[in-house]
Amino acid sequence: MTGRRSGHIDRIARILTGGVLFLSIALPLIWFVASSFLTREAVLRGWPTWADLNLHHYLTLAERIPLGILLLQTLLIALTSSLLALVLALPAALLTARLRGALSSGLYGIALTLWLIPPIALSLQIYFWFQWLGLYDTAAGLVLLYAVIHATLALILLSPFADRISQRVDEMIALDGLDSFTSLVRIYIPILAGPLLVVSVLCFLRAWSELLFASLLTDYRTGVLSNALVGLTSGTHVAWGQLAAAGALSLLPAPLFLAVLIFTLRVRRREISP
């Protein structure tokens, strides 16, 4: 009886703790998104009503910046850089998992070191490199930079999963006479599909919301949506409503990718389970 009661108390405590954590994260986001549909007067009044909801900030934002172009360009940059990061990181992760020695540990160590270095420490040198290579203020330059940066993250996250692949898989590939590309596409990618999906989502979200290099290396017309937010502030005025509208738009990929991720993982779990 005592054990059952303590179990109920533990369950209630977990539910309450989870509820408090969820509300502490969700309520600021809900208010932030809601304020993008409210006028300044409605926000300052305290408790808005349904009649106060409107699209004024979104319409003003669309008139002030090329919103559609920025959203499309941000999406393309984030998707392309994430895909390129995985193309770079997956062979490197398999290499570090299969080759034991100085090369493997050195490659992983370089990736970890680059990831731990604050981006601001490399910003000046990267700026001069982009000027010299002719990549300044180009979407292609931003894609390459994001791909290299996120490839280090992808390598760090994928290496433990690649380490768990049995040596028998390599022996079967050798017996079948598959070349490197065929074995990568037909064997390793299906085995690592779950981790690859999770890492791709992380890389995409980081590229989608990155601001430092976007503001340093591109103009907002050729950059990403987060860079356009800088133009909504000045020394004397901050367009809070338009900032909220742009911020609400920047939040869209997170729930979409989370839903896709959960759906894909459930499908794979059903395929694996007997």
- Residue 175 tokens read as 């017996």
Structural contact between residues 98 and 167, judged by C-beta atoms closer than 8 angstroms: no
- Residue 144 has what pLDDT? 93
Q: Can you list the residues of the chain whose pLDDT is less than 70?
A: 1-7, 44, 46, 100-105, 220-223, 234-236, 265, 267-274
DSSP state of 47: S
Q: How would you label 65-99 residue by residue, b for 16+ Cβ within 10 Å and e otherwise?
A: bebeebbebbbebbbbbbebbbebbbbbbbbbbee
- Residue 104 has what pLDDT? 64
Helix (H, G, I), strand (E, B) or coil at 234: coil
Structural contact between residues 84 and 145, judged by C-beta atoms closer than 8 angstroms: no
- Residue 236 tokens read as 């004397």
- Read off the pTM: 0.80
Which of 144, 130, 138 is closest to 207 using CA atoms? 144
- Residue 222 tokens read as 């050729």
Exposed/middle/buried for 228, CB within 10 Å: 0-12, 13-18, 19+? buried
Residue 242: CA atoms inside 13 Å, Cβ hemisphere, count?
19
pLDDT tens digits for range 47-81: 777 777 888 888 888 888 887 888 888 889 999 99
CA distances from 146 to 97, 200, 213, 214, 225 (A): 24, 12, 9, 10, 15
- Residue 269 has what pLDDT? 65
